[in-house]
Amino acid sequence: MSSRFKILLLLTPALFVICVLFLGGLGLGLARSFNYMPVIGLTEPSFHAYIAVFTNPEFYQSLGLSLYISITSTVISTVLAVACALLLRESFAGKRTVTFLFQLNLTIPHVVGAVAMLFLLSQSGFLARIGYLFGIIDQPSEFPEMIYDDYAIGIILQYVWKETPFIGLIALAILQSMGDDYESVARSLGANRWQRLFYVIIPLITPGVMRACIVAFAFTFGAFEVPYLIGKTYPTVLPVLAYQSYTDVDLTLRPEAMAMALVIALISTILIVAYLRVSRRFVRFD
């Protein structure tokens, strides 16, 4: 009894924040998306905003673009992250420095990352100038389009740049806590390098890495800063579309903005639940 009370006491502040700020915010957003908010005199709920959102072709283009960007960047980041973790696990001269530099862009805000990509990758950016220096291109238009482009290459590269260390460090932490025992056993059973990688290491780090992936995916799916700065003007990603509707001076668009924000939230939640289902099938490593 007293122990249950203690647990409750420990959890209360966190639950308070989550319920009031997080769920409260979502609830208010939901009410507003139905154009219902008695405090400001809106007392007749309607589905108008959802109808407007779901009949707008731009919404589907934005949804597609958002999904494409998050999936592509998460998949690339994950593969690179696992490779980096395996690389950094081994001991070599200068490992501390390399590991520190690997952690470095964990600290760099996405806004700065976006600016960095803009300066680096635009058609008259740093790489294009280096290309000119070596006579590879003569004018900016010959440099590949990576900023404000159809395939959102700059955005994806920025996310990969930021998320690889995030997932990589988690993978590295799991690898280090795992120690050499499992591999030694596998080795003594005659497994070669690749067999050890695919049958021992990867299955062991999968649950943890997948969690990190989901976090990275959800972040990129809901992120606003990077596409806002280096994304194409049309179509744009869902969060930017929602933000534009919210800050439009036409107040009637606000419920639509809320509806879009909630659709983003809903899709993300479906993904979490799907993940929890899937992850339970994997062997847990604790």
Map the footprint of other proteins across residues 213-272, applying CB under 8 A: 214-215, 218-219, 221-225, 229, 232-234, 239, 242-243, 246-251, 257-258, 261-262, 264-265, 268-269, 271-272
Does residue number 81 form part of the binding site for other proteins (CB under 8 A)?
no
Cβ-based neighbours of 275, under 8 Å, separated by 6 or more = 210, 211, 214
Binding letters toward other proteins, positions 102-131, x by CB under 8 A: xxxxxxxxxxxxxxxxxxx-xxxxx-xxx-
In the stretch 15-54, what mask flags binding to other proteins with x, by CB under 8 A?
A: x-xxx-xxxxxxxxxxxx----x-xx--------------
Per rule CB under 8 A, count of chain residues that contact other proteins:
130
x/- contact string, 166-185, with other proteins (CB under 8 A)?
A: ---xxxxxx-xx--------
**Per rule CB under 8 A, is residue 14 in the interface with other proteins?**
yes
CB of 274 to other proteins, least distance (A): 11
Instruction: Give the nearest distance from C-beta 97 to other proteins in angstroms.
Output: 9
Smallest distance from other proteins to CB 253, Å: 11
What minimum distance in Å lies between the beta carbon of 240 and other proteins? 10
60 makes contact with other proteins (CB under 8 A): no
Q: How far, in Å, CA of 258 to CA of 33, rounded?
A: 5
Our CB check for other proteins shows the closer of 67 and 145 to be 145
**236/227 Cα distance (integer angstroms):** 7
Residue 208 within binding range of other proteins, rule CB under 8 A: yes
